[in-house]
């Protein structure tokens, strides 16, 4: 008799620190640490694949998880390289950011961009904290305030 096949290994839990959340203008906003955000996560966010993103150890109470599955959420995550986002079909460069960014409160600068495998997003440059990308296009100033805190 042929040996029984070993069961497939369970998918690994995402590495890195837990997600946190906030609320902006009635919308849930997932706050990603750098170690938990990449293009695969962006794609999962675009598909609203919450189970593929949120894990047991995340700082999301049951009622927040229920709301996430019912209503969805916006998100914000650190961005390491400008070239990870696109403007007019091209990877963003520093000169293009400098030329196109608009000023928000507290020295934050913002630029509408395209996040590959997700869609429209806003790039935020926060003094002393770095660059972030968010899906909350209509609420960029409120996301900037959240990041400045």
* Amino acid 16: pLDDT: 81
Please provide the DSSP assignment of 54-84 as one string.
--TTSS--HHHHHHHHHH--EEEEE-S-GGG
- Quick one: pLDDT at residue 149? 87
Contact 135, 123 (CB under 8 A): no
Going from the C-alpha of 124 to that of each of 32, 61, 75, 106, 115, the distances in angstroms are: 14, 28, 13, 12, 13
Task: Please tell me the predicted confidence (pLDDT) of residue 5.
Answer: 58
- pLDDT tens-digit profile, the chain (149 residues): 655 555 544 444 556 899 999 999 899 999 999 999 999 999 999 999 999 999 988 989 999 999 999 999 999 999 999 999 999 999 999 999 999 999 999 999 999 999 999 999 999 999 999 999 999 999 999 999 999 98
């Amino acid at each position: 008799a042929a040996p029984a096949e070993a069961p497939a290994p369970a998918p690994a839990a995402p590495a890195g620190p837990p997600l946190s959340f906030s609320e902006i203008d009635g919308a849930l906003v997932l706050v990603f640490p750098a170690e938990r955000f990449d293009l695969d996560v962006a794609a999962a966010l675009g598909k609203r694949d919450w189970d593929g993103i949120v894990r047991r150890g995340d700082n999301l109470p049951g009622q927040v998880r229920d709301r996430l599955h019912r209503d969805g959420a916006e998100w914000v995550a650190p961005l390491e390289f400008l070239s990870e986002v696109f403007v007019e079909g091209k990877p963003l460069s520093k000169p293009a950011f400098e030329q196109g960014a608009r000023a928000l409160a507290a020295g934050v600068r913002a630029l509408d961009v395209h996040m590959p495998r997700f869609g429209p997003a806003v790039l935020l440059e926060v003094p002393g904290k770095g660059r972030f990308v968010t899906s909350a296009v209509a609420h960029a100033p409120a996301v900037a305030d959240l990041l400045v805190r």
